[in-house]
Amino acid sequence: AQSVTQPDIHITVSEGASLELRCNYSYGATPYLFWYVQSPGQGLQLLLKYFSGDTLVQGIKGFEAEFKRSQSSFNLRKPSVHWSDAAEYFCAVTLMDTGRRALTFGSGTRLQVQP
C-alpha cells in the first residue's frame, strides 16, 4: 500500500539552529513530492514541490528539500530557524502516472522553536 512516513512527531530546536525534517514514502511508481506547513487553526501553505529534474529544490521562507530516490526520502531542511517557523509540517506525495493528484499526507511533524 502507498504510504508516507514522517518518523518525528515532535521536534524542538533553538532559534538560529539548523533543521531537518524527515519524510519517507512507499510507492511503486515515481512520485511527485511536496512539503506543506500548517499554523494552528489554519489551512496548509505550500513550501516547495518536486516534480522532476534537480533533486535539490528551493522553496519559500528559506526552506529546501532533497529527493533521494535510493532512500525513498524527501527531507526538508533550513539552515537557520526563526521563531516564526514554529508550526506543523506535512510531507505529501502523489503519483505521476494518474490523471488525478490526490495527495497522500504523512502524519506531520510539530516544530517547536526555543528562544
| DSSP type of residue 30 | P
Which lies closer to another protein via its Cβ, residue 6 or residue 85? 6
- Gap between the Cα atoms of 56 and 59, Å rounded: 10
| Shortest distance in whole angstroms from residue 15 CB to another protein | 25
Q: What is the CA radius of gyration of the chain?
A: 14
- Stretch in the footprint of another protein (CB under 8 A) among 14-22, 57-65, 74-82, 94-102: 94-102
Which lies closer to another protein via its Cβ, residue 99 or residue 115? 99
User: Binding another protein by CB under 8 A: which of 10, 68, 82, 101?
Assistant: 101
Specify the residue for cell string 532533497: 66
Which residues in 50-89 contact another protein (CB under 8 A)? none
User: Binding another protein by CB under 8 A: which of 17, 46, 56, 60?
Assistant: 46
Give the residue among 61, 94, 95 at the shortest CA–CA distance from 76.
61
Dihedral of CA 95/100/103/104: which sign?
Answer: negative
Where on the chain is the footprint of another protein (CB under 8 A)? 4, 34, 36, 41-46, 49, 90, 92, 98-108
